[in-house]
Amino acid sequence: MRLERRTYMPLHLVVLAPLVAVLAALVLAAGLIAAAGVNPLMAYGEMLRGALGSQLAITEMLTRATPLIFTGLAAAVAFRAKLWNIGGEGQFFMGALVSAWIGHSLGLPGWLGVPILLIVSMAAGAALLAGPAFLRLRFGVDEVVTTLLLNFIVLLFVGLMIEGPLRDPLAFGWPSSVPVDDAFRLPDLVPRTRLHIGLVFALVAAAMVWLVLARTVFGAETRAAGLNAEAAAFAGISLQKTIMGVALLSGALAGLAGSVEVMGVTAGVTTTMSPGFGYAGIVVAMLAALHPAGVVAAAVFVATVFVGADAMSRATGVPSFIADVIVALCLLTMIVALLFTTYRVRR
């Protein structure tokens, strides 16, 4: 048995790979569900019904998909340039925190304030990744370590702020930051649901990221640098500039996720507002094979698992942690699936 590089990747394999990976992850998770004493088919049925069974369920699922699209794009952009940004979670919280902080007392009308808050949160996310990117470029410090550890620092910082200076006095002791001004709450997309126009922002962001990666000089340089840094340098592409550019774009997208979540859903920041949007974004990006359009589809899938697992948990008693297990398994199975799309097995 040996692995042979495929000369080209047929499109049906590219599409099939994530589907097979998801199926394999669900089969593996079914073992755990069965071990909890529940019929897996019934459990998955509950899960689907909980996420897609009614209009309300669907809007809830799409609400959950919105930040995942942003964090998925953030990971996809970075991974394409081989910048391993594991810090989406921290950048998410940074974007959320500055939005709430500035958005609480910014005396501006909504049409002006919302774009300002979005831009400020992008800057915050970008700044948070600029540090690790600089350390990598200047001293060769592994960004996997720095970005991952920054997540915990940021989370502790958020805790500090919402217990202290940004504490919401009206929250009855519930640890939450002050909320953004009502003027900056994003309008609902569907009345009487939590679904807000942040979803449209996310779709626009996906389209723009696609445009930048596929059509611009920056996108072409990023691809070249990610695939063969030496050849890119020989062709005169500055690795420092591309990596830093990618870091700023990736951090900004993750920061946007936090900002949109605050303005669209939570109003204030709590340390529990994210069920791991930053980390799940990595899975989303991998399932999407780092393609922006795929990110949207993968985000919808992961959101379905997250939302559906809650419903399943209520109906069957299987702990909703199963959602994290399924998402994590998807990452592993997708990596195996990618191996088989890149290589073929020969005897």
Partner 1 sequence: MTKVLELHGITKRFGALTANDDITLSLRQGEILALLGENGAGKTTLMNILFGHYAADAGSVYVFGKELPPGVPRQAIEAGVGMVHQHFTLAGNLTVLDNVMLGSEPLSRLKSARADARVKLLKTADRFGLPIDPEAKISTLSVGERQRVEILKALCRDARILILDEPTAVLARPEAQRLFETLRDMTGEGLSLIFISHKLHEVMTADRVAVLRGGKLVAERNTTETNPAELAELMVGRKVERPTREDHRIGAPVLVAANVSIGSGEETRLDDVSFTVHEGEILGIVGVSGNGQAALGALLSGLAQPSSGGLTLRGVDASSLGPRGMIRAGAGRVPEDRHAEGVVGELSVWENAVLERLTTPQFSKNGFVRQRESKVYAEGLIKRFDIRGATPDTRARLLSGGNMQKLILGRVLSNDPCFVLANQPTRGLDEGAIASIHAELLAAREKGAAILLISEELEEAVALSDRIQAIVKGRLSAPVPAKDANPQKLGLMMAGVWAEDAHAT
Q: Is 233 in the site for partner 1 (CB under 8 A)?
A: yes
- Residue 7 beta carbon to partner 1: minimum distance, rounded to whole angstroms: 6
Q: Is 249 in the site for partner 1 (CB under 8 A)?
A: no
CA distance 88 to 249: 12
- One-letter amino acid identity for 261? E
Q: Is 140 in the site for partner 1 (CB under 8 A)?
A: no
CA distance 79 to 192: 38
* Residue pair 177/269 in contact by the 8 Å Cβ criterion: yes
Q: Which of residues 198-227 bind partner 1 (CB under 8 A)?
A: 215-221, 223-224, 227
* Residue pair 272/261 in contact by the 8 Å Cβ criterion: no
List, in order, residues 6 or more apart from 198 with CB less than 8 Å away. Answer: 66, 67, 186, 260, 261, 263, 264
* Residue pair 105/184 in contact by the 8 Å Cβ criterion: no
Applying CB under 8 A, among 48, 237, 297, 332 the residue interacting with partner 1 is: 237
Which of these, 342, 300, 330, 317, lies nearest to 62 by C-alpha position? 300
Q: Is 76 in the site for partner 1 (CB under 8 A)?
A: no
Q: Is 111 in the site for partner 1 (CB under 8 A)?
A: no
- Residue 225 beta carbon to partner 1: minimum distance, rounded to whole angstroms: 9
Q: Which stretch binds partner 1 (CB under 8 A): 103-111, 117-125, 229-237, 261-269?
A: 229-237
- Residue 131 beta carbon to partner 1: minimum distance, rounded to whole angstroms: 27
CA distance 276 to 68: 9
Q: Which stretch binds partner 1 (CB under 8 A): 124-132, 194-202, 231-239, 301-309?
A: 231-239
Q: Which stretch binds partner 1 (CB under 8 A): 52-60, 68-76, 179-187, 228-236?
A: 228-236
Structure tokens, 179: 């909320």
H or E segment and range at residue 200: helix 198-215
- Residue 76 beta carbon to partner 1: minimum distance, rounded to whole angstroms: 17
Structure tokens, 131: 């540090």
CA distance 207 to 292: 7
CA distance 309 to 331: 18
Build a one-symbol-per-residue string for 166-205: x at contacts with partner 1 by CB under 8 A, - elsewhere.
Answer: ----------------------------------------
Q: Is 228 in the site for partner 1 (CB under 8 A)?
A: yes
Q: How many residues bind partner 1 (CB under 8 A)?
A: 21
Q: Is 230 in the site for partner 1 (CB under 8 A)?
A: yes
Applying CB under 8 A, among 81, 128, 232, 269 the residue interacting with partner 1 is: 232
Could you list the residues that contact partner 1 (CB under 8 A)? 7-8, 215-221, 223-224, 227-228, 230-237
